[in-house]
Structure 1
Amino acid sequence: MRYEKIDSQLFISNRERLKKLLKPNSLVIVHSNDVMPSNADGTLGFHQNNDIFYLTGIDQEESILVLFPDFPDEKFREILFVRETSEHIKIWEGEKLSKKQATEVSGIQKIVWTNNFETILRKLIFEAEQVYLNLNEHDGADWQFESRERRFISTFKKQFPLHQVERLAPLMFKLRVIKQPIEIALIKKAIEITGKGFVRMARYLKPNIAEFELEAELSHEFLRNRSRGHAFSPILASGESACVLHYVTNNLNCKDGDVILMDFGAEYGNYNADITRCLPVNGKFTQRQKQVYEAVLRVMKAARSMLIVGNNMEKLRKDVGKIMEFELIELGLLNADEVDKQSDDAPLYKKYFPHGISHHLGLDVHDVGSRYETFKAGMILTCEPGIYIPEEKLGIRLENDILITENGNEDLMANIPIEILDVERLMS
């Protein structure tokens, strides 16, 4: 991997905390992701299942984690299965992890080649009272896709129909939503790289530059800083394209007088950053652009102050909606009388601010965590208000990543320019 070695204590601690949540006499099985095919003999590459990475640090395909904390023979209480290297694999793909390397990464002592999984499973399975199996339970997931985990669940239920199957995902959600100090450090590293990318783009931006040229500058900066690349498909949307929330074609030229909305983030060690900034293509905001930008910035600062222990996403959304209403009225986009008469189920501000104000961030950009859960110290959430005015060909969104602490919160992107004077100074 490109990233620096992660302290195995993180993964050891994660497994220990998971074990405390299990029912007595439980078996846990977690699979890696597939290498995704493209066409012919091509592949789209490999991105590890975040749950097995969280528990082991292993970033390799065909890996399986088995936990059985109450198994009589302590040698079988933690087992990591990894793919064995052959001469053919060495020539075509390079070396895979040795057993010693897998132990160094994960802290697991018993390493077994993956082709022995079924044999060992039969040794363990009949001692278990229930088996925890994993599945991507994110509410935005593609349920049509049959992952390695889904295939295993189908096979397992056919082979062992009388065993009680439990859902691992709720336990993983509970663990992953609170970031450990090492995780916070990794996210800060992703943010540091992201900030470097922003500065590079800001200094490169000028009229008639293509959006994809900015993306290239961003990619260069990420890769040279040990990132695998983009945390998600970057949005580099100039002019009216900024009003398309998930614009990723990035194929237009940036016009003099327009503002470009840039939503992007670097990945580092499988952890992610997520930032949005808006820049005037020619280096100077117009008066109207400043008005809208400052309105969004005020909403952002107000929303950020609400990302505290004890609040929750639903209350945050409603409170930010009221603040946004005021700003939109001041901008002449909403009528105060009509706002007073609006339906609570269809607030008028949604016309100009149609998306959510925040989401969890971590191993996934839209990380695990319930929108109904009370905020706790250790959570990292985005703060991302926006105002989109298609008729003015103007879209402004600003986004920072916020760590909730016992005594308020910490803006992890506070050192990345966001005030108008700082942005214009950077571009000059």
Structure 2
Amino acid sequence: MKYLPIDKQLFIKNRAKFADKMISNSMAIFNSNDIYPISADSTLPFAQHRDIFYLSGVDQEESVLVLFPDCPKKENREILFLKETNDHIAVWEGEKLTKEKAFETSGIKTVYWLQEMEKVLFELMTQAETVYVNTNEHYRANVETETRDARFIKWLQAKYPGHSYKRCQPIIQRLRSVKEPQEIEMIQKACDITEKGFKRVLGFIKPGVMEYEIEAEFIHEFKINRSAGFAYSPIIGSGFNACVLHYLENNQPCSEGEVVLIDVGAEYANYASDMTRSVPVSGKFSQRQKDVYNAVLRVKNAAAKMLVPGTIWADYHVEVGKLMTKELLTLGLISKEDVEKEDPNWPAYKKYFMHGTSHHMGLDTHDYGILTEPMEAGMVFTVEPGIYIPDENLGIRLEDDYLIQKSGDPVNLMENIPIEIEDIEKWMSK
């Protein structure tokens, strides 16, 4: 791992919070992610399942976490099962967690090797009445590949059909949506690395630069600051490409007079950041570009002030829509007649601003959060309005990450990243 060690007290506290929500005489089981094959002997880089990381800090494949708060044997109330390490594995794959190192990482004293799991699990299952299993219930999830958790659940329920089974997700989604101070520090670190990357590219962008060259500048800066890389696939689109919401090719030249939309974020210790800026390729915005840019910026700033405890996500988006409608009327992009005749299910402003304004952020870029429940202090949300005008080859989106406070305005975790037109142009002239 490139990141610095994390104090195990964070994971000890996270497990205690989860255990507190479990019913009596129950056990919860969390699996690491698979290493996914490409073809031949090639694999994708390993990325840990965020749930087991959140609860243990273990960032290694073939790991299993068991929580059994009411286990008669005190030593078995928290268990890690790990892939056994040896000198051969150390030579070929690098050092894996030893039992001692696993305790230093997680605070879990009882560690078994993975080959012992079936035997140990049999004893635990004779003592537990209910088992919490983990499935992916994120509102944007589209899972087509059978996961390690899914295979494990099939095996467990076939071997132990007499037990009751419950879902981990209602508990862990609520817990993960409200961040601990240590988690905020890591998100802030990711935001700070993103800031360094953005300031680097502001002096690099000019007519003729390729979108992928901008991407390369970011990854260079991220890597030298202990980030494993992008928190999500970067979007770097100039001109018309900025109007393609999930444009990922990043393979076209940035031309004079265009605006390049840059939606990137560094990760740090598996925690995400999520930033969008729109930059004039020539170093100066045209008047039309300024007008659209400032309209988006006003919506972003006003929307951010609504991120307070008690706000309902769906109601918030209705209010942001009203802000955007006002700006689009001023820009002449929609008319009063368009608004009067609009379909309530697809308001007039959606022609130029068709996506949502905010999502939870944390260990995942689109992090856990139950959208029907009120916002709480400690949650982190993006704010990312945009205006997209394909006929003008112009797309503007601006995005920062905000921490909700118990009272007052939220904290902008990206407040040091240039966003005002004057600051963008100033940095580009250096």
What's the TM-score once normalised by structure 1's chain length? Answer: 0.99
Worse overlay, 37-46 or 337-346: 337-346
Cross-structure match for 1:54? 54
- Runs of 4+ with >2 A deviation: none
Cross-structure match for 2:99? 99
Q: Is the 8 A contact 2:3 2:269 kept in 1?
A: yes
Worse overlay, 5-14 or 133-142: 133-142
Once the two structures are TM-superposed, the CA of residue 146 in structure 1 deviates from its matched residue by: 0.3
Once the two structures are TM-superposed, the CA of residue 142 in structure 1 deviates from its matched residue by: 2.3
Task: Classify the secondary structure of the residue corresponding to 1:44.
Answer: coil
Q: What residue identity is the alignment partner of 1:406? A: K
Q: What residue identity is the alignment partner of 1:423? A: I
Task: Classify the secondary structure of the residue corresponding to 2:21.
Answer: coil
- C-alpha distance in structure 2 between counterparts of 1:341 and 1:213, whole Å: 45
- C-alpha distance in structure 2 between counterparts of 1:158 and 1:254, whole Å: 57
Runs of 5+ unmatched residues, structure 2: none
Cross-structure match for 1:39? 39
Q: What residue identity is the alignment partner of 1:112? A: Y
Cross-structure match for 1:81? 81
Once the two structures are TM-superposed, the CA of residue 343 in structure 1 deviates from its matched residue by: 2.1
Cross-structure match for 1:130? 130
Once the two structures are TM-superposed, the CA of residue 77 in structure 1 deviates from its matched residue by: 0.6
Q: What residue identity is the alignment partner of 2:175? A: L
Cross-structure match for 1:418? 419
- C-alpha distance in structure 2 between counterparts of 1:111 and 1:423, whole Å: 52
Task: Classify the secondary structure of the residue corresponding to 2:150.
Answer: helix
Q: Is the 8 A contact 2:242 2:396 kept in 1?
A: yes
Q: What residue identity is the alignment partner of 2:411? A: E
- C-alpha distance in structure 1 between counterparts of 2:228 and 2:143, whole Å: 27
| Superposed CA offset, 1:195-232 (max 9, x none) | 00000011110000000001000000000000000000
| Superposed CA offset, 1:346-374 (max 9, x none) | 20111100000000000000000122120
| Superposed CA offset, 1:17-49 (max 9, x none) | 111100000111100000111110001010000
Q: What residue identity is the alignment partner of 2:82? A: V
- C-alpha distance in structure 2 between counterparts of 1:293 and 1:56, whole Å: 43
Query: How many residues get paired?
Result: 428
Task: Classify the secondary structure of the residue corresponding to 1:230.
Answer: coil
Cross-structure match for 1:10? 10
Residue 246 in structure 1 maps to residue 246 in structure 2: yes
- C-alpha distance in structure 2 between counterparts of 1:68 and 1:345, whole Å: 47
| Superposed CA offset, 1:105-140 (max 9, x none) | 000001111111111000100111100011111122
Task: Classify the secondary structure of the residue corresponding to 1:255.
Answer: coil
- C-alpha distance in structure 2 between counterparts of 1:114 and 1:164, whole Å: 24
Task: Classify the secondary structure of the residue corresponding to 1:36.
Answer: coil
- C-alpha distance in structure 1 between counterparts of 2:24 and 2:294, whole Å: 55
Task: Classify the secondary structure of the residue corresponding to 1:228.
Answer: coil
Identity across the alignment (%): 53
- C-alpha distance in structure 2 between counterparts of 1:372 and 1:314, whole Å: 8
- C-alpha distance in structure 2 between counterparts of 1:115 and 1:211, whole Å: 48
Once the two structures are TM-superposed, the CA of residue 89 in structure 1 deviates from its matched residue by: 1.5
Q: What residue identity is the alignment partner of 2:48? A: Q
1:173-192 alignment runs, 5 A limit? 173-192=173-192
Cross-structure match for 2:226? 226
- C-alpha distance in structure 2 between counterparts of 1:349 and 1:384, whole Å: 15
- C-alpha distance in structure 2 between counterparts of 1:283 and 1:371, whole Å: 40
- C-alpha distance in structure 1 between counterparts of 2:212 and 2:426, whole Å: 24
Q: What residue identity is the alignment partner of 1:288? A: R
Cross-structure match for 2:264? 264
Task: Classify the secondary structure of the residue corresponding to 1:20.
Answer: helix
Task: Classify the secondary structure of the residue corresponding to 2:132.
Answer: strand
Task: Classify the secondary structure of the residue corresponding to 1:212.
Answer: helix
Once the two structures are TM-superposed, the CA of residue 338 in structure 1 deviates from its matched residue by: 2.1
- C-alpha distance in structure 2 between counterparts of 1:309 and 1:75, whole Å: 40
Q: Is the 8 A contact 2:174 2:370 kept in 1?
A: no
Task: Classify the secondary structure of the residue corresponding to 2:261.
Answer: strand
Q: What residue identity is the alignment partner of 2:422? A: L
| Superposed CA offset, 1:283-333 (max 9, x none) | 000000000000000000110010111111111100000110111111111
Task: Classify the secondary structure of the residue corresponding to 1:6.
Answer: coil
Cross-structure match for 2:197? 197
Task: Classify the secondary structure of the residue corresponding to 1:387.
Answer: strand
- C-alpha distance in structure 2 between counterparts of 1:311 and 1:34, whole Å: 37
Cross-structure match for 2:354? 354
- The CA RMSD measured in Å over matched residues stands at 0.7
Cross-structure match for 2:294? 294
Q: What residue identity is the alignment partner of 2:257? A: G
Worse overlay, 141-150 or 200-209: 141-150
Q: What residue identity is the alignment partner of 1:307? A: L
- C-alpha distance in structure 2 between counterparts of 1:131 and 1:148, whole Å: 17
Cross-structure match for 2:385? 385
Worse overlay, 137-146 or 351-360: 137-146
1:53-72 alignment runs, 5 A limit? 53-72=53-72
Once the two structures are TM-superposed, the CA of residue 399 in structure 1 deviates from its matched residue by: 0.2
Once the two structures are TM-superposed, the CA of residue 95 in structure 1 deviates from its matched residue by: 1.6
Residue 119 in structure 1 maps to residue 102 in structure 2: no
Residue 160 in structure 1 maps to residue 153 in structure 2: no
What's the TM-score once normalised by structure 2's chain length? Answer: 0.99
Task: Classify the secondary structure of the residue corresponding to 1:405.
Answer: coil
1:298-313 alignment runs, 5 A limit? 298-313=298-313
Task: Classify the secondary structure of the residue corresponding to 2:166.
Answer: strand
- C-alpha distance in structure 2 between counterparts of 1:95 and 1:364, whole Å: 26
